[in-house]
A and B are shown apart, each in its own frame.
Chain A
Amino acid sequence: MKTQKISKRSKRINDFVIKIATVNGTGSASANGLLLKALFRMGIPVVGKNYFPSNIQGLPTWYEIRVTGDGHNSASNEIDIVIAMNAQTYKKDLMSVQPGGYLIYDSTWPRSKLLDRTDISVIGIPFSKLCIENFEGIRSRILMKNIAYVGALAAFIKIDISIIKSLLNETFAKKKHLATSNLEAIMLGHDYVKENLTHPLPLTVKKLNKTKNHVIIDGNTAAGLGCVYAGATVGAWYPLTPSTSVMDSYQAFCSQYRKNKDGKNNFCIIQAEDELAAIGMVLGATWNGARAFTPTSGPGISLMSEFIGFAYYSELPAVLFNIQRTGPSTGMPTRTQQCDLLLCAYASHGDTKHPMLFPANPEDCFHMTLAAFDLADELQTPVFLMSDLDVGMNDWMCKDLEWDNNYKPKRGKVLSADQLEKIEKFYRYYDSDGDGIPYRSLPGVHPKGSFFTRGSGHNKYGGYTEDGHEYQEVVDRLKVKWNTARKMMPKPKIKYSKKNDIAIIAFGSSHGAAQEAIINLKKNGIDVNYCQIKAFPFQNSIEKFINKHKRVYVVEQNRDAQMRSLIMLDLELDADKLLSILHYNGNPIYANVISDELMKSEIKF
């Protein structure tokens, strides 16, 4: 038996990070998914992060699995094990292992002596050779090489092979031969380690019972499912990374659950010619009473902006999913950021502002999708679900999505034929309730419901106007509506103790990392309060929270501290006590960014 040099370091169970470097389009996505699911089925909390190129085949891609028995909800930058399957990025991958860690590489071909590190353990396994000997055909050999590392890793960190077997059988239930060949490749890797190498490593997994009633799901799938449950019937979109899978999910669930008794579709998906058309279709549909939505990303919002202003002024509901990606311009389409806050909050020319929701994980994506449709209908205005690539496309462990059969969609002030029959005259934009929200009628329902929808100046009755006073009455009433909206937005989650005079504010995909950072800081003797913002416009409780502290660190994933600006604008607060912790390299944020930056800053005070 060959032995490899294993660094003498303390054993760790259920707490380490594995990074797998491969070439995209070579089947590694299914291998990585298999690994993640196997760990999850062992009852161990996991975090999966996919770093993929804007490309279909041939470019480097990485997948990180964080095994976190403590159940943290964010990535970590401390990589313990790297599986280096991509010669192109070998040097970079070698450098990314933290001291004392492990690097596993394909030893079929010799590796330059220059590429070595003495502070880590480097383990060679001849994956290609094993697969060439056991499989026929180039494509199949490449695919199998990328599944073989699953077996090797299973042997190294003690993943239960029987769980991998049952996962394979479920995945390939209809293609038994694939289950067999995949398992064969896994066992090649597994048995090689068992027969030739020191195993297990000091880093191992052990069954826990922490994933019960949880699922592994991505935010876009959850959002698409949310659209089905919200009763949305019209989805219009233009393909755009990373938002595309929202519509894929809606399509898949609709094809199962939205056939009527005649076998016809109770849904309509339109792939538009561009985002300008997609939002126009959504507005045509909501004008006619359907719940309608469009998934997009920053570039799409830029294109939709003219119609967003139209919807604001003519008061049409719409749900827009902005799965944010790294800007500006084309930016890095497969990297994440929280960079469209100001764009969406004030999208379009003239005085406009729009409600936004900030999901922190896929569970939020599902429930906030429901909230977005309700708010859009009740407020008769476009509502943005501000997800991002990290929440939208990565696999997150979260609680089972649950449904309350008592839920009824809140369709807002829509007059029925009977109600219209009883009123003397209908005025579309008349605020009879004083909350800034007028009553709507839908085309075709009743002769008395007719009105003219326009983006041009109109008076409080809905008639065309160029009169300054009449114009101002309507835009002032829209401000009243904005204050009504403020009270209706989801409340922030606040953890407060009188003892602490500094606090962190985070939102969306930064929330998980912020929570872990707070634990890190406590270990370093710094106690902080916390506020997770869930929506814009901001509830007054956020202002009160900020006022109670000496310093508040706003954590966000963009260069220009957009959330901080938005807080100052919307709550009319001074800049003094609002400090920033910013992370904007396109990779998901991790806890150390927040705790390190905060500690560095606190030294000054």
Chain B
Amino acid sequence: MSYISKPKVSHPKSKINSIGLKRRDYEGVVSTLCAGCGHDSITAALIQAVFEMGIEPHRLAKISGIGCSSKTPAYFVSESHGFNSVHGRMPSVATGANAANRDLTYIGVSGDGDSLSIGMGQFTHVIRRNLNMTYIIENNGVYGLTKGQYSASADVGSRKKKGPANMQKPIDPVSMGIALGSTYVARGFSGDKDQLVPLIKGAIAHKGFGLLDIISPCVTFNDNPESTKSYSHVRKSQNEVVDTDFVPPAEEILTQYKEGEAMPVSLHDGSKIVFRKVDKNYDPTSRAAAYSYLRESQAKHEIITGLLYIDKETDDMHETIDSSSQPLSEVPYNELNPGKTELAKIMKRFR
């Protein structure tokens, strides 16, 4: 139903962002996903985040693979550039796009089916490259578009609407992200927008790979009480270990935090992420601690959410390869071509 256009009229008093655009300017075409789909809530959070950050729509690249989640780039920021690629291959497209133009904002949207099966190789290697991008996994434990088969993130014993329970062990993108050295790892829940918006903003502002695993119930195939990816189960099991605020570059931190509980972390663009540790034992800057906490909570069948790990030190791909600060696609041809005289010199080596 994406051919139905939305009215572009907005309330005269609606908020205007730093570049003079309204929230409505960041919307996309009408979603064709099922009513109540978690993915639509994530889309709404994405719109909120990029609107509030004042990102120029045409400087935003939205890249996806194949699946329900991968359809969503059509549903936000119509005036940006979308690239709906092939199954599991969004990371490679994002890598090439970023290699050619390091100045755009890259948001990759994937799902558990797209990233954790065919896309596993690309998912792990884009983490290794520490590509400067936001990588969202809209995680619902099932394949929606092919009508409800279990995906690789389905928990043991979890039962979808129809058929037997899943008995294979799940792949957890957050554990993988931390194990592989992703430099920003967060988990959110599509039903908790207040938590989600700052997590998305932080991932966009973070210079490096920002992984967001977002539990996003599939209302059609996997939202029954026996499913561990259902609204009811996530609400019951969610344990927010770190509450995160995102503070844009120009703003000061106004909220008062109790000493020892709040931890502001500056990002490269001058913005700040402020962690408020709900659990005093949690340290989101220690990879080892984050990993062991994660394993313990998994054993307790808890779903921990929040910004779980951040590393600001590791170089991103462009720093590693020492590429020019000017986007490669914009370097003039005369600076790329060694010319006639040099070719004549080169020929001498081959005599």
B331 part of interface (Cβ distance < 8 Å): yes
Query: Once the chains bind, are A447 and B58 in contact (CB under 8 Å)?
Result: yes
Query: Once the chains bind, are A452 and B84 in contact (CB under 8 Å)?
Result: yes
Within 8 A of A (CB), among B329-351: 329-331, 333, 335-340, 342-344, 346-347, 350-351
Query: Once the chains bind, are A233 and B103 in contact (CB under 8 Å)?
Result: no
Within 8 A of B (CB), among A252-301: 253, 257-258, 260, 262, 264-270, 272-274, 276-290, 292
A400 part of interface (Cβ distance < 8 Å): yes
Query: Once the chains bind, are B93 and A290 in contact (CB under 8 Å)?
Result: no
Closest to B339 in A: A405
Closest to B81 in A: A443
Q: Given known contacts A258-B336, A290-B329, is B97 in contact with A463 (CB within 8 Å)?
A: no
Question: Complex: how many Å from CA A282 to CA B100?
Answer: 9
B238 part of interface (Cβ distance < 8 Å): no
Question: Complex: how many Å from CA A279 to CA B95?
Answer: 11
Q: Given known contacts A402-B343, A450-B57, A455-B85, is B328 in contact with A268 (CB within 8 Å)?
A: yes
Within 8 A of A (CB), among B88-102: 89, 91-101
Residues of chain A within 8 A of B350, CB atoms compared: 215-217
Question: Complex: how many Å from CA A131 to CA B184?
Answer: 61
- Contact pattern, B 179-213, Cβ under 8 Å of A = 1, otherwise 0: 00000000000000000000000000000000000
Residues of chain A within 8 A of B91, CB atoms compared: 277, 280
Q: How far is the CB of B226 from chain A (nearest CB, A)?
A: 34
Question: Complex: how many Å from CA A401 to CA B349?
Answer: 12
Residues of chain A within 8 A of B343, CB atoms compared: 225, 229, 401-403
Query: Once the chains bind, are A408 and B333 in contact (CB under 8 Å)?
Result: yes
A445 part of interface (Cβ distance < 8 Å): yes
Question: Complex: how many Å from CA A405 to CA B335?
Answer: 13
Query: Once the chains bind, are B3 and A281 in contact (CB under 8 Å)?
Result: no
Closest to B56 in A: A447
Query: Once the chains bind, are B96 and A257 in contact (CB under 8 Å)?
Result: no
- Contact pattern, A 354-393, Cβ under 8 Å of B = 1, otherwise 0: 0000000000000000000000000000000000000000
Residues of chain B within 8 A of A408, CB atoms compared: 333
Q: How far is the CB of A164 from chain B (nearest CB, A)?
A: 15
Secondary structure call for the A interface: mixed
- Contact pattern, A 2-42, Cβ under 8 Å of B = 1, otherwise 0: 00000000000000000000000000000000000100110
Q: Per a CB cutoff under 8 Å, which of B3, B81, B121, B335 touches A274?
A: B121
B2 part of interface (Cβ distance < 8 Å): yes
Query: Once the chains bind, are A307 and B100 in contact (CB under 8 Å)?
Result: no
Question: Complex: how many Å from CA A310 to CA B90?
Answer: 13
Query: Once the chains bind, are B338 and A229 in contact (CB under 8 Å)?
Result: yes
Residues of chain B within 8 A of A478, CB atoms compared: none
A231 part of interface (Cβ distance < 8 Å): yes
Query: Once the chains bind, are A268 and B99 in contact (CB under 8 Å)?
Result: yes
Within 8 A of A (CB), among B282-338: 318, 321-331, 333, 335-338
Query: Once the chains bind, are A284 and B82 in contact (CB under 8 Å)?
Result: no
Q: How far is the CB of A587 from chain B (nearest CB, A)?
A: 25
Question: Complex: how many Å from CA A447 to CA B125?
Answer: 32
Q: Given known contacts A228-B338, A229-B338, A276-B92, is B80 in contact with A215 (CB within 8 Å)?
A: no
Q: Given known contacts A233-B331, A446-B58, is B325 in contact with A277 (CB within 8 Å)?
A: no
Q: Per a CB cutoff under 8 Å, which of B95, B103, B318 touches A444?
A: B103
Query: Once the chains bind, are B3 and A463 in contact (CB under 8 Å)?
Result: yes
Within 8 A of A (CB), among B137-178: none
Q: How far is the CB of B1 from chain A (nearest CB, A)?
A: 10
Q: Given known contacts A215-B350, A409-B333, A451-B81, is B89 in contact with A277 (CB within 8 Å)?
A: yes
A234 part of interface (Cβ distance < 8 Å): yes
Residues of chain A within 8 A of B74, CB atoms compared: 452, 464
Query: Once the chains bind, are B89 and A280 in contact (CB under 8 Å)?
Result: yes
Residues of chain B within 8 A of A96, CB atoms compared: none
Query: Once the chains bind, are B104 and A270 in contact (CB under 8 Å)?
Result: no
Residues of chain A within 8 A of B253, CB atoms compared: none
Query: Once the chains bind, are A215 and B84 in contact (CB under 8 Å)?
Result: no
Q: How far is the CB of A367 from chain B (nearest CB, A)?
A: 12
Q: Per a CB cutoff under 8 Å, which of B3, B82, B99, B322 touches A234?
A: B99
Question: Complex: how many Å from CA A253 to CA B336?
Answer: 11
A247 part of interface (Cβ distance < 8 Å): no
13 examples of A-B residue contacts, CB within 8 angstroms: A234-B96, A264-B323, A266-B336, A274-B121, A276-B121, A284-B83, A288-B97, A290-B99, A400-B347, A401-B343, A450-B78, A452-B73, A453-B82
Report B's interface with A, CB cutoff 8 A.
2-3, 56-59, 61, 63, 73-74, 78-86, 89, 91-101, 103-104, 121-122, 124-125, 129, 318, 321-331, 333, 335-340, 342-344, 346-347, 350-351
Given contacts A280-B86, A287-B93, could you give 6 more A-B pairs where the C-beta distance is less than 8 Å? A277-B122, A284-B83, A401-B347, A443-B58, A450-B58, A452-B84
